[in-house]
Amino acid sequence: MRVEILGTAAGGGFPQWNCACRNCSLARAGTFPTRSRTQLQVALSSDEKSWFLLNASPDVTRQIESSSFLHPSGGTRHSPISGVLLTSAELDQSLGLLLLREYQPLQVFATASVRRILREDNSMFSMLERSEDQARWHDVVPGTPFNLCSQTGGQAGIECLPLSVARRYPSYVPTQRTAELCACEAVLGVILSSGKRLGYFPSIGKIDDSLLEQLNSLDVLLFDGTFWTDDELIRLQIGTRTAREMGHIPVSSPDGSLDLLSGLRCPKKMFVHINNTNPMLDATGPAWQKVRDSGWEIAEEGCHLEL
Ligand SMILES: [Zn+2]
């Protein structure tokens, strides 16, 4: 399985258009030690012909253009992208679907609840339904493995195990609608395997023993690196909610992911979905060094993985 990391940032990207935090200000001034980052996007394939996107970021069309393996190669209208697997209905994970609307046939894998939020409650998503063979939605059930399939229904050689990892729907979903939906379908982490196992967990609210057991079985882990501390946005006076209240376990501090996953047996561990305020983005700073000393990497755009 080939895995390509096309974007690594949390919602808003880095720098974020309306943010003047230390990281964003230095990035604009050209004095930040690492380059700008687009919003999290991963693509994977078992045969390097048929590709699947893990979520669809608002930067997806730019990310496709900068990745030659995702360019059309079979006629005037063609895409090697067979499908999109959605782990939640968050905008930074799903908005890019709307940008893939040009009558391109796509398989969309999502829980029934996420499908209902996008298709039934947001009329713009009907742009994906203008022709019969355009978007084909497949309901994903947490805990039930399934195979990713291509446009023609053929198996793509990648098995996916979806796991329910948080029970919080995006804040744009009305309370009444949330009450009708199954909370266990709100946020998924997924384990993708074609022999070796990739874990994709961009949003994790809590780590329990059953999740730890799954993570210990992985060859590569892409994990929630959104915030460094629980009170990151409050301390910067740009938000009122803690990281945990937003569904993200912070990287540092006791009970943070570095601490709770310190005994993890997975040999390659990378943080993704990194918010622009996170001090670990600064490769000259102590937070970045702590991540590296703990055996973790901070994912970079353009990173290729072979599993
Ligand atoms: Zn910022």
Count of beta carbons in the 10 Å neighbourhood of residue 91: 14
Give CATH superfamily name and number for 2-306.
Ribonuclease Z/Hydroxyacylglutathione hydrolase-like (3.60.15.10)
What residues form DSSP beta bridges with 43?
4, 53
Residue 253 Cα, ligand 1 centroid: separation in angstroms? 21
Residue 57 to residue 41: CA distance in whole angstroms: 6
Q: Are 237 and 188 in contact (CB under 8 A)?
A: no
Q: Are 258 and 296 in contact (CB under 8 A)?
A: yes
pLDDT at 253: 86
Q: Are 23 and 288 in contact (CB under 8 A)?
A: no
Q: Of the candidates 138, 237, 248, which has an alpha carbon nearest to the alpha carbon of residue 203?
A: 248
DSSP per-residue letters across 19-49:
--SHHHHHHHHT-SSS--BPBPEEEEESSSS
Residue 168 Cα, ligand 1 centroid: separation in angstroms? 24
pLDDT at 223: 98
Residue 19 Cα, ligand 1 centroid: separation in angstroms? 4
pLDDT band at 155 (very low <50, low <70, confident <90, very high): confident
Does 7 have pLDDT greater than 90?
yes
Which residues, chain by chain, have CB under 5 Å from ion ligand 1?
19, 21, 24, 276
Residue 14 Cα, ligand 1 centroid: separation in angstroms? 7
Residue 184 Cα, ligand 1 centroid: separation in angstroms? 32
Residue 276 Cα, ligand 1 centroid: separation in angstroms? 5
Residue 12 Cα, ligand 1 centroid: separation in angstroms? 9
Residue 160 Cα, ligand 1 centroid: separation in angstroms? 34
DSSP state of 117: I
Residue 53 Cα, ligand 1 centroid: separation in angstroms? 26
Does 9 have pLDDT greater than 90?
yes
User: Residue 175: CB partners within 8 Å, gap ≥ 6?
Assistant: none
Residue 189 Cα, ligand 1 centroid: separation in angstroms? 26
**Residue predicted with more confidence, 155 or 272:** 272
pLDDT at 198: 98
pLDDT at 154: 78
Residue 179 Cα, ligand 1 centroid: separation in angstroms? 34
Mean pLDDT within 286-301: 97
Residue 304 Cα, ligand 1 centroid: separation in angstroms? 27
Does 34 have pLDDT greater than 80?
no
Residue 20 Cα, ligand 1 centroid: separation in angstroms? 5
Q: Of the candidates 210, 290, 282, 202, which has an alpha carbon nearest to the alpha carbon of residue 246?
A: 202
Q: pTM to 2 decimals?
A: 0.96
Residue 140 Cα, ligand 1 centroid: separation in angstroms? 34
Longest alpha-carbon distance in the chain:
54
Helices (H), 154-270: 175-180, 209-215, 232-235, 257-260
Averaged confidence pLDDT in the chain: 95
Mean pLDDT within 272-288: 97
Q: Of the candidates 267, 243, 245, 246, which has an alpha carbon nearest to the alpha carbon of residue 257?
A: 243
Residue 137 to residue 163: CA distance in whole angstroms: 19
Mean pLDDT within 238-254: 93
Residue 118 Cα, ligand 1 centroid: separation in angstroms? 28
Model pLDDT for residues 91-140, shown as the tens digit of each residue: 999 999 999 999 889 999 999 999 999 999 999 999 999 988 899 999 99
Phi and psi, residue 53, nearest 5°: -95, 135
Helices (H), 80-231: 91-94, 112-115, 121, 175-180, 209-215
Residue 21 Cα, ligand 1 centroid: separation in angstroms? 4
Mean pLDDT within 174-180: 95
